[in-house]
Homo-oligomer: A and B are copies of this chain.
Amino acid sequence: MPLPQSLRMTRQRRLILDELRRLKTHPTADEIFQVVKRRMPRISLATIYRNLDILSQAGVIQKLETAGLQRRFDGDISQHPHVRCVKCGRVDDMTGDARPPRIERMPRAEGYAIHGYRLEFLGTCPQCGKGGGNIQ
């Protein structure tokens, strides 16, 4: 479904965008839903999905291409590396030197035109590190 000719800033869209930008947790659609619902109780999950889709297509937010069955979103559209906790699935920003790694000796694939790559760090988050971690 292509973007419409003009985008309206509805109360719902504004709120979704504000909350996504406020959260630093790279939330899933449902996590955004739970937060937004506190301020707008009758909002529907479908509205969340539709707006996340429209906003990411418009380049206002990022749909993260992190591994896993659930999609996560980021209000920060700058390209920066993420860590994913292998135990609970939580995603955080990497801090410090955010420079991407230099890839020497680019591998090839027969017939493919390579455009780029996606890098995701794996680790154990603070919560899961101590206490053994609950697999979510």
Q: Residues of A with Cβ closer than 8 Å to B?
A: 65-69, 71, 81, 83, 85-86, 92-99, 101-105, 107-126, 129
Please name all residues of chain B whose beta carbon is closer than 8 Å to the beta carbon of A101 when the two chains form the complex. Answer: 101-104
Which residue in chain B gives the minimum CB-CB distance to A97?
B105
Q: How many copies of the chain does the oligomer comprise? A: 2
The one of B65, B66, B97, B124 that contacts A112, using a Cβ cutoff of 8 Å? B124
Please name all residues of chain B whose beta carbon is closer than 8 Å to the beta carbon of A99 when the two chains form the complex. Answer: 105, 107
Say whether B108 contacts A94, CB under 8 Å: yes
Please name all residues of chain B whose beta carbon is closer than 8 Å to the beta carbon of A126 when the two chains form the complex. Answer: 110-112
Say whether A125 contacts B107, CB under 8 Å: no
Say whether A120 contacts B121, CB under 8 Å: no
Q: Known contacts being A67-B67, A101-B103, A104-B101, is A110 close to B95, with CB within 8 Å?
A: yes
Please name all residues of chain B whose beta carbon is closer than 8 Å to the beta carbon of A123 when the two chains form the complex. Answer: 109, 112-115
Complex: A101 Cα to B125 Cα, angstroms: 24
Please name all residues of chain B whose beta carbon is closer than 8 Å to the beta carbon of A125 when the two chains form the complex. Answer: 111-112
Please name all residues of chain B whose beta carbon is closer than 8 Å to the beta carbon of A69 when the two chains form the complex. Answer: 69, 71
Which residue in chain B gives the minimum CB-CB distance to A111?
B126
A91 to chain B, nearest CB (A): 10
The one of B102, B112, B117 that contacts A85, using a Cβ cutoff of 8 Å? B112
